[in-house]
Amino acid sequence: PAAKVRVDLGARSYDILIASGLIAEAGGHIQRLAPGAACAIVTDANVAEIHLAGLEESLDKEGVRHSVVIVPPGETSKSFATFAEVCDAVIAAKLERGDLVIALGGGVIGDLAGFAAASIRRGMRFVQIPTSLLAQVDSSVGGKTGINSDHGKNLVGAFHQPSLVLADAHALETLPAREFRAGYAEVVKYGLIGDAGFFGWLQTHWRGVFSGGADRVHAIATSCRAKAAIVARDEHERGDRALLNLGHTFGHALERINHYDGARLVHGEGVSIGMALAFRFSAKLGLCPWGDADRVEAHLREVGLPTRLADIKGLALDAGQIIEAMYQDKKVERGALTFILAREVGDCFVAKSVDAEEVRAFLQD
């Protein structure tokens, strides 16, 4: 099974290829994309240990000259210091403007290497080889790149579209189960925001998605197609792209209160709780049937994702603190909370200026 999704952005359009075994074929794809170009591979130590040799072998076979930069795994690598190291290493490898930066890893590597590619010589071409489910269905699509500041996540960055994305469904076999599940929350998100049929399909096929093969490729491709369509309509997030934040207003607040301690809560788990809350909040406001909120929650629980604040063990949470954390989110315009709310499964909308008191009353219920 293999799929191809085209991201339509005029002269900056690109393909996302989804199939099992793409890392072993990457050399050929890169050689066709940029004949004669040299590459700098950016990856983290975990991914390097498992998948780097296969990529290098494939590049060698096609005679693609390449160098490698390995950074420590984890969110802390989205830092100014690591960014500087990556830029210096790529420049030291004598790469020129037409050469390629290859991001081999999860969302951390995609964001970091993508921002380096956007910055070096004011813009080098780059190829995403996402190896986490979250990166395959979300962060590698759409061109947002960046690093964190002491003041918050993703505050320094650039829009920089890749030239090609190679999503190797088989590479996810080595991803820790918890990371896979967390990425799956973003897959569910695409069904919830705009594709009830896909959500229904996930309810019956999720085991296939988790175990690999054709169902996994289908789920990744459908997710990428959904994100690509939204990005093509609204590349710089002035309107519709905000729908992708379903579950993220609550989710980011929880991550912030938790000080991004991944042992307790990873991003996709926060999003899962956030999506369940967004549907229940919508139901409470009379916007959406309670039955839909129950259906969403039941599916997330079925795959082992958390859906309630009480599911986060060892973190005391109160409504006031959650609302305070929401106001600190960079996507919140002062005074008004923006939420993605639901009319039903498959139909969400951007609600500007949601009353904080209604959120408080809901959370205290």
For ligand NAD, the closer of residues 106 and 191 by Cβ is: 106
Locate tokens 């599940």: which residue?
A: 181
For ligand NAD, the closer of residues 75 and 311 by Cβ is: 75
For ligand NAD, the closer of residues 66 and 153 by Cβ is: 153
Assign 168 to helix, strand or coil. Answer: strand
Alpha helices, H only, the chain: 22-33, 45-47, 53-61, 80-92, 107-119, 133-134, 177-194, 196-211, 214-233, 248-257, 267-284, 290-302, 319-327, 356-364
What DSSP assignment string belongs to 338-359?
A: EEEEEEETTEEEEEEEE-HHHH
Q: What is the CA radius of gyration of the chain?
A: 20
Nearest to 45 by CA among 21, 84, 77: 77
- Asked if 235 is an active-site residue, the reply is no
277-296 footprint of ligand NAD as x/- string (CB under 6 A): --------------------
Residue 75, CA distances (Å) to 72, 82, 118, 137, 174 in order: 9, 11, 19, 18, 19
- Asked if 241 is an active-site residue, the reply is yes
Neighbouring-strand partners of residue 15: 6, 164
For ligand NAD, the closer of residues 269 and 292 by Cβ is: 269
- Of positions 29, 66, 78, 218, contacts ligand NAD by CB under 6 A: 78
108 scored as a contact of ligand NAD (CB under 6 A): yes
Size of the site for ligand NAD (CB under 6 A): 30
131 scored as a contact of ligand NAD (CB under 6 A): yes
For ligand NAD, the closer of residues 71 and 221 by Cβ is: 71
Q: Which residues contact 36 (CB under 8 A, 6 or more apart)?
A: none
User: Minimum Å distance from CB 227 to ligand NAD?
Assistant: 9
73 scored as a contact of ligand NAD (CB under 6 A): yes
Binding residues for Zn(2+): 186, 248, 267
- Asked if 186 is an active-site residue, the reply is yes
- Of positions 16, 26, 37, 47, contacts ligand NAD by CB under 6 A: 47
109 scored as a contact of ligand NAD (CB under 6 A): yes
What DSSP assignment string belongs to 40-92?
A: EEEEEHHHIIIIIHHHHHHHHHTT--EEEEEE-SSGGGSSHHHHHHHHHHHHH
166-195 footprint of ligand NAD as x/- string (CB under 6 A): -----xx-xx---x----------------
Q: How far apart are CA 219 and CA 198, in angstroms?
A: 8
The first and second tokens of residue 165, run together, are 């994305």
User: Minimum Å distance from CB 360 to ligand NAD?
Assistant: 27
Binding residues for NAD(+): 107-111, 131-132, 144, 153
User: Minimum Å distance from CB 112 to ligand NAD?
Assistant: 8
Contact residues toward ligand NAD (CB under 6 A) are: 44, 46-47, 50, 73-75, 78, 105-109, 111, 131-132, 134-135, 138-139, 142, 144, 153-154, 171-172, 174-175, 179, 267
